[in-house]
Chains A and B, each alone.
With several copies, the nearest count.
Chain A
Amino acid sequence: MKLVYFAWIKDRIGLAEEEVELPAGIITVKDLLRWLRGRGAHYEAALQAPEVIRVAIDQEHADHSDPISGAREIALFPPMTGG
């Protein structure tokens, strides 16, 4: 599965995107965020306040409770500031 990061989440993780193999038991966005935080200090710094993290599954906004099964691309980003 492809993960893509934007803005300060990208800065803190130090990557714009990566391919990951998810372990069994990762069902929802929330599970994914918890698993990512355990991958090291950079991830912990980026995701320490998961409630502010916005998520898109295959380029559509998603909730933290949404299942991620079948997703090709999941994006994590802070609240948007365009317009």
Chain B
Amino acid sequence: MSIEPSVSVQSGRIDIAAVTAELALSGDVGGVVTFAGYCRSEDGKLAALELEHYPGMAEKEIGRIAKQAAERWPLLAAKVIHRYGKIAPGEEIVLVACASAHRAAAFEAAEFLMDFLKSRAPFWKREHLIDGTVGGWVEAKHEDDTALERWR
């Protein structure tokens, strides 16, 4: 029986320390891998990233991806938190955390989750620039699609 991953889609900050500590609680956990994605400053040009999302589907789709990871690797716990709304440079956008008895499963599951979140979770980024203008919607990267191929 695979574990039930925890998913949260929220506008507020992510408490990375609390999540990591929570995942390590079980006595069987040998390793916790976390990935935290941050808003880059783009050489100081960026005032904020705006993340639009599809409420309802965002939670469901991340849940589906996380469930797949839990079925594919022997995870003891998994947590995904994705923010929406305005995010300032230096702030975290997304956190993926996977706990397992041995490290390989946690590493692979965290990479799998990130690869799928990037191209399957319904979020769209738009740049707000320091000069007050609203930049265009960020274009999806071709490499994010090809990143999925190694998991087939």
Interface residues of A (CB under 8 A from B): 4, 6-8, 56, 59-61, 75, 77-83
Among A75, A77, A83, the residue within 8 A (CB) of B117 is A83
Complex contact A7–B118 (CB within 8 A): no
A67→B6 CA distance, assembly (Å): 32
A81 and B54 in contact, given A6-B122, A6-B124, A61-B61 (Cβ under 8 angstroms):
no
Among A4, A56, A61, A82, the residue within 8 A (CB) of B124 is A82
Which of B119, B120, B124 counts the most chain A CB atoms within 10 A? B124
Complex contact A79–B54 (CB within 8 A): no
A51→B133 CA distance, assembly (Å): 29
Complex contact A81–B138 (CB within 8 A): yes
Closest 5 CB pairs of A and B: A82-B123, A79-B140, A59-B57, A83-B118, A7-B124
Q: Give the distance to chain B from A75, nearest Cβ to Cβ, in Å.
A: 6
Chain A residue numbers with a CB within 8 Å of B138 are 81
Complex contact B137–A82 (CB within 8 A): no
A82 and B54 in contact, given A7-B137, A8-B137, A59-B60 (Cβ under 8 angstroms):
no
A59→B140 CA distance, assembly (Å): 20
Chain A residue numbers with a CB within 8 Å of B125 are 81-82
Q: Give the distance to chain A from B10, nearest Cβ to Cβ, in Å.
A: 13
Chain A residue numbers with a CB within 8 Å of B7 are none
Complex contact A80–B118 (CB within 8 A): yes
* B51 beta carbon closer than 8 Å to chain A: yes
Chain B residue numbers with a CB within 8 Å of A81 are 118, 123-125, 137-140
Chain A residue numbers with a CB within 8 Å of B124 are 6-7, 77-78, 80-82
Among A6, A56, A75, A80, the residue within 8 A (CB) of B140 is A80
